[in-house]
Amino acid sequence: MPIRIVESVEERGQKDARRHREKQREAIKKHLPEIISEQSIITGNRGKKIKIVIRSLDIPHFRRKTKDDQDAIGIGQGKGAPGDVIGSRKIPGQGKGPQAGKEAGSEYIETEVDLEELIDLMFEDAGLPKLDPKSVREIMVRLGFKISGRSKAGPWPLIAPGPTAKEGYKRFWNFLAALEKETKLDQLICFSALKQANGLIKDALDLLKDPNFKPQFDKVVPFPIIYHEDLRFLKIKDKERPESRAVVIAMMDVSGSMDEEKKYFARLMLFWLVEFLRRIYLRVEIRFIVHHAEASLVDEHTFFHTQESGGTVSSTAYQLARELVEQEYPTSSWNAYLFHFSDGEDFNPQDAVAEIIKCFQRGINMFGYGQINPEGQELFSSKNTLMQAFARAFPVENVERGGLRMIVGRGNVPFLGVQITKKKHLLPALEQFLIKERWSNG
Amino acid sequence: MDKPLTQAELDRLIALEKRIGEIAKEEGLNTVPIDFKIVSANQVIEGMAYRFPVNFSHWSFGRDYDRTRTIYEHEYAGIPYEQVWNFDRPEAFLVETNPFILQVLVVAHVYGHVDFFLSNRYSQIGRMFSDVALQARNAVGRFRSYEQVYGIDVERMMDAALSLEWNQHPEILLDDLDEESQRESLIKSLRFKLRKADGKLSPKEVEEIEKQIQVVSVKTPPEPTYDLLGYIAHHSPKPLKPWAQDVLMVIRDQARALLPNMRTKILNEGWATYWHVRIMRRLFQEGLITAKEHGSFNDFNARVTRESKASLNPYRLGLSLFEDVEDRWNKGRFGPEYENCKDPRKRLNWDTKVNLGRQKIFEVRSCFTDRMAIEALFSDDFIHQENLYIYEEKRFDKEVIYIIVEDDPEIIRQLLKHSHVFYGTPVISVEDGNYDDNGYLYLKHHNTGYELDAAYRDRTLEMIYYLWGRRIYLETTLNDRALLISYDANRNKVIDYAYKK
């Protein structure tokens, strides 16, 4: 037969198209620091889409140079004389908006990416775990968060499925009994209505008002009906707190040469930290402080985009942070996490030490000092006056995790000093920062 | 419209296909039995992206698949996608969800293509590779098993091979001798030259030829070759493992089979369009399709042959060309007498009633490539009549404006011709596979009026280096200055310096 219908064979196109998109993601990953640098990811709107310009993936091949590599020409067909405009198109990525690094010899396409997807990519890129409920709970166990007791409110990752379901079944039986009593019908038909109404008792009643309504089930199979007040959450065993809330105070030395890459590390660490805390506390706030010889409170965008020249006096930032804790985030009702990013030099390390001790006395959960040096200096090189001062002033031990060298406060000293030179240092640093035993057993 | 064919429709289509085959024969077209397969739109899109009905996996095919599918789904649903392969027994796809009349149109169109495949001198070359589809099918499993063992290296090897696939000998068949047979025949011809000269050559000339013989006996390649992938597969000092050679050669062979089609794109599509119009008209005259169906065909046909503002639509241009040539040769509007006639009124009414039109268009379909057609048949009148122009993409701050800059037929003809020389691919030859006695690869770019795009050039050299593993040299020009570029991965960049021959 010359014409026949052919059954669909293997769908290779889908699979290879996925590989292409995967390669595009790799290309985006390479330029994450630039792409993300314009976004306020910590405090901004997470649902938005971002326009980025990425390289169209092509196979390099010998090809002709177009005229001056600028005004390309072509042949077309239609009405018109020299000088007539036959069309136009917008140049993708011109003007505002991030460009994912122009590489020579590439064509570019503009594409829209969900901020969420970029964030996933960032985490993947830096080897930071995704923060789905399962991994959040794993991390909490690993880091020694003690979970005990129940409460009727809490963050989603901490929902307790068993107790919640138990409440749901209780409600099911209550509703069924109420329906029977109200309608005087038998249990099976009431069950059918409740099931069909997806547990909504008012809808079930409406169904039962219909004389033609017939039971579709031959036996009662209970299912949990969960209302908001049936939810049960696990509670983190913490200092007794009326509310479960936390504040992160981020500090950044803007005097030095914190370039795009260093800032990217800081941004990733802070972002992941805040996201993690958001999963375990009902309320999380973040405040930003920049400093050189003076400190000031700023918003997220300013935090990552300020550059000033001048001396570096970190104690000014620490003092401002402490005042914030005292006035707005008393540690009797807030968990306070302080983190300072710098490239290491300080004019007056002794004042910095003194201020940190004051913060300890206020009962903060943790003080982190992150020295960001992608060039990979020695931990205690002569430039790094702060790290040296901290190591001398506080009882610390040297710890190494995954190639990352840290100084970690002994006993109940809530201090962590890390030098971050590589992306893969971010996770061990964050974990060390969050280890619970250290600062809650004291 | 989106429903698959009913049994009754299928029966009718089978009957119409039979009649279309008969009409084709009556009109003097060559035919062979054709396998028509009714498939999903997805499969046709896959066929277009993968180049063959079944082919190995690669992300670039996936990218093309994604692109076409997006266009199909969002913009032009129901467009008459058609896919036909120049196999021993030609194979064509019909999209199951296309309206019935579109199926008939595609069948008629495919008969045009098949005649072209069978009759055009250059497409006939493509038919010599007709086992390439089977090879492609077999490569699927082999490549997959390589991937299981060698992982991502296989993809990198494919990337590199695909980057050179179109760099083939301009006359494909000339370059398929193995190196030793090539060497022998070269030496033979040089010795023959010596013998035939019979003492008439000066001692210096004799010495020259003997020196040449010596060079040829050891040099690789004995004479420059344009078959980059073929040469690299067999001579890379890396050396390439058998699986890698296999990947390179499969990709090379596929490109060789596809190249002839690229040289006859305008003519082939024009010819198929010319015939589907006529066959559909006859089906209507014979009462085999209704007036309504013929009207609906006309709508589709108008879409297919629409002018394209910023590119050339081969269906449109090819159809107009055959109709123009037929008309001119019917009226005797060719030859010096007509060409030299400057009187516009005389030219307008010129008709010697020689009626050579049919004969001429069959000759064009048999013997011409697109480039030859542009040179010989794109007359000034034709270029005017078709409203061809050259446009420029002017870049402004935030947008690109397309502006017509030229409508002089001579300039248009030149530009068209240039873009059809050697399939539009720059000509690169391997001059020496053991340059500097160090196993370096020495390539030469033959300037055909255009220089190389520098950025693409460098990225391609990187690919060649991946295949060759030692330094690569490329002789070329930049801004009319001779240049020798060397690519050395130790420095991982392209170094160029003025080249003195």
Element (H, E) at A416: strand A415-420
Report d(CA A377, CA B408) in Å as an integer. 66
The total number of structural domains in chain A stands at 3
Tell me, yes or no, if B394 comes closer than 8 A to chain A by beta carbon. yes
- Out of A230, A255, A275, pick the residue that ends a domain: A230
Which residues on B lie below 8 Å from A87 (Cβ)? 309-310, 401-402
Chain B positions in Cβ-Cβ contact with residue A104 (cut-off 8 Å): 454-455, 458
The pLDDT mean for chain B works out to 88
Do A323 and A208 share a domain, yes or no?
Answer: no
Tokens representing B363?
A: 């000759």
Rounded to whole angstroms, the Cα distance separating B389 from B77 reads 30
Judge whether residue B489 has pLDDT over 80: no
DSSP annotation of B260 = H
Name the domain boundary from A197, A230, A263.
Answer: A230
Closest residue in A to B9 (Cα–Cα): A3
Instruction: Select the residue of A23, A72, A84 nearest B393 (Cβ to Cβ).
Output: A72
Do A249 and A378 fall within a single domain?
A: yes
| Chain A residue nearest residue B478, CA to CA | A65
Query: Nearest Cβ partner of A62 from B10, B37, B452?
Result: B452
pLDDT of residue B412: 92
**Rounded to whole angstroms, how far apart are CA atoms A141 and A150?**
17
Interface of A with B in 40-59 (CB under 8 A): 57-59
3-class SS at B313? coil
For residue B388, list chain A residues with Cβ-Cβ distance below 8 A: 75-77
Give the residue extent of every domain in chain B: 7-120+264-304, 314-419, 426-498
Contacts of A178 (CB under 8 A, 6+ apart): A201
Interchain pair B451, A88: CB under 8 A: no
In this prediction, residues B418-432 reach a mean pLDDT of 83
Chain B environment of A23 (Cβ under 8 Å): 59
Nearest residue of B to residue A81, measured between CA atoms: B404
HEC assignment per residue over B196-258: HHCCCCCHHHHHHHHHHHHHHHHCCCCCCECCHHHHHHHHCCCCCCHHHHHHHHHHHHHHHHH
Nearest Cα neighbor of B44 from B71, B6, B17, B7 is B71
Residue B150 — very low, low, confident or very high, per pLDDT cuts 50/70/90? very high
A76 domain residue, yes or no = no
CA distance linking residue B180 with residue A436, whole number of Å: 75
Q: What is the DSSP letter of B5?
A: P
Nearest by Cα to B167 from B496, B479, B477, B445 = B445
Q: Please list every residue in chain B whose beta carbon sits closer than 8 Å to the beta carbon of residue A90.
A: 398-400
pLDDT in tens, B255-297: 988 888 888 999 999 999 999 999 999 999 999 999 999 999 9
User: How much is the average pLDDT of B337-357?
Assistant: 91
Q: By CB neighbour count within 10 A (0-12 exposed, 13-18 middle, 19+ buried), where does A10 fall?
A: exposed
Residue where one domain finishes, among candidates A204, A230, A256? A230
Contact B393 A16 (CB under 8 A): no
What tens digit of pLDDT does each residue of B15-43 get?
999 999 999 999 999 999 999 999 888 88
pLDDT score recorded for residue B450? 81
Name which of A398, A425, A420 is nearest A409 in CA terms.
Answer: A398
Segment 55-74 of chain B within 8 Å of chain A by CB: 57-63, 65-66, 69
φ and ψ of A300, to 5 deg: -60, -45
Residue A304, in any domain of the structure: yes
Residue B148: per-residue pLDDT: 94
Domain co-membership, A198 together with A281:
no
pLDDT at position A103, please? 46
- Distance separating alpha carbons of residues B360 and A146, to the nearest angstrom: 91
Burial B450-469 (b: 16+ CB within 10 A, else e): bbbbbbbbbbbbbbbbebbb
Out of B34, B389, B460, name the one closest to residue A80 (CB). B389
Which residues of chain A neighbour B453 with C-beta distances below 8 Å?
Answer: 63-66, 69, 105
Q: Give residue B273's Cα distance to chain centre.
A: 18
Is residue A362 one of the residues assigned to a domain? Answer: yes
- Does residue A361 sit in the same domain as residue A397? yes
Distances (CA, A) of A16 to B46, B61, B78: 11, 7, 24
Contacts B386 to A, Cβ<8 Å: 77
The nearest CA of chain A is from the CA of B67 a distance in Å of 9
pLDDT of residue B169: 81
| Beta carbons of B456 and A62 less than 8 angstroms apart | yes
Measuring CA to CA, how many Å separate A169 from each of A157, A188, A194, A199? 22, 17, 13, 11
Nearest Cα residue to B164 out of B417, B369, B370, B457: B457
In the three-class reduction of DSSP (H, G, I as helix; E, B as strand; rest coil), residue B308 is classed as coil
Yes or no, beta carbons of B452 and A64 under 8 Å apart: yes
Smallest CA–CA distance from B395 into chain A, residue = A71
Q: Say whether both A226 and A254 belong to one domain.
A: no
Contact yes or no for A16 and B10 at CB 8 A: no
Nearest C-alpha of chain A: how many angstroms from B191?
Answer: 37
Co-location of A116 and A31 in the same domain = yes
User: Are B397 and A81 a contacting pair at CB < 8 A?
Assistant: no
> Among A250, A262, A248, A254, which residue's Cα sits nearest to residue A419?
A262
A74 inside domain: no
Q: Where are the alpha helices (DSSP H) in A197-283?
A: 201-209, 260-280
Is some CB atom of chain B closer than 8 A to the CB atom of A26? no
Q: Are residues A250 and A368 in the same domain?
A: yes
Answer yes or no: is A156 within a domain.
no
Query: Pairing relation of β-strands A3-5 and B35-39?
Result: parallel
Taking CA atoms, A322 is separated from A282, A346, A365, A433, B501, in Å, by 23, 19, 12, 19, 74
**Residues A217, A193: Cα–Cα separation, whole Å:** 10
What parts of chain A have a pLDDT lower than 70?
1-2, 5-10, 38, 46, 53-56, 66-71, 90-111, 147-148, 236-243, 256-258, 374-383, 436-442
Which residue in A20, A61, A81 is closest to B404 by CB distance? A81
> In this complex, which of B62, B162, B167 lies closest to A62 when CB atoms are compared?
B167
CB contact under 8 A, B37 and A13: no
Q: How far is A264 from chain B (nearest CA, A)?
A: 27
Instruction: Label residues B296-319 b or e (16+ Cβ within 10 Å = b).
Output: bbeebbeebbebebeebbbbbbbb
* Domain span at A184: 161-230
Tell me, what's the pLDDT at B493? Answer: 53
Backbone angles phi, psi at B105, to 5 degrees: -55, -50
Of B165, B389, B453, the CB nearest to A65: B453
B174/A337: higher pLDDT: A337
Give the minimum alpha-carbon distance from B477 to chain A in angstroms, rounded to a whole number.
Answer: 11
In this structure, the number of other CB atoms found within 10 A of the CB of residue B436 comes to 11
Counting Cβ atoms within 10 Å, is residue A8 exposed (0-12), middle (13-18) or buried (19+)?
exposed
Strands of the sheet with B399-406, listed across from one edge: A73-77, B388-395, B399-406, A85-90
One domain, residues A413 and A307: yes
DSSP letters for A146-214: -EEEEES---GGGB-HHHHHHHHHHHHHHHHHHHHHHH---HHHHHHHHHHTTT-HHHHHHHHHSTT--
What pLDDT score was predicted for residue A441? 39
Please check whether residues A197 and A268 belong to one and the same domain: no
Q: In this complex, do A94 and B33 lie within 8 Å of one another by their Cβ atoms?
A: no
Out of B13, B34, B57, closest to residue A16 by CB: B57
DSSP H or E stretch at residue A368: strand A366-372
Spell out which residues of chain A touch residue B48, defining contact as CB-CB under 8 Å.
none
Does a structural domain hold residue A334?
yes
Largest CA distance in chain B: 84
CA distances from B58 to A15, B49, B156 (A): 9, 10, 10
* pLDDT tens digits along A269-318: 888 888 888 887 878 899 999 998 889 999 988 888 887 777 788 999 99
Measured between CB atoms, does A398 come within 8 Å of chain B? no
Judged by CB atoms closer than 8 Å, whether chains meet at A74 and B455 is answered as: no
Check if the beta carbon of residue B266 is closer than 8 Å to that of residue B318.
yes
Q: How confident is the model at residue A374, as a pLDDT?
A: 59
How many alpha carbons fall within 13 Å on the CB side of residue B110?
31
Spatial CA neighbour of A316 closest among A343, A355, A350, A342: A355
Q: Say if CB B116 and CB B25 are below 8 A apart.
A: no
What is the pLDDT at residue A44?
73
Counting one residue from A and one from B, how many pairs have CB atoms under 8 Å apart? Answer: 241
For residues A308 and A367, membership in a common domain is answered with yes
Tally of CB atoms within 10 A around A431: 15
Same domain, A290 and A404: yes
Highest mean pLDDT out of B180-194, B219-233, B469-483: B219-233
Regarding whether A247 and A220 lie in a shared domain, the answer is: no
Tens-place pLDDT, residues B376-388: 999 999 999 999 9
Q: Which two tokens stand for residue B297?
A: 């065909």
B70 Cα to chain A: minimum distance (Å): 12
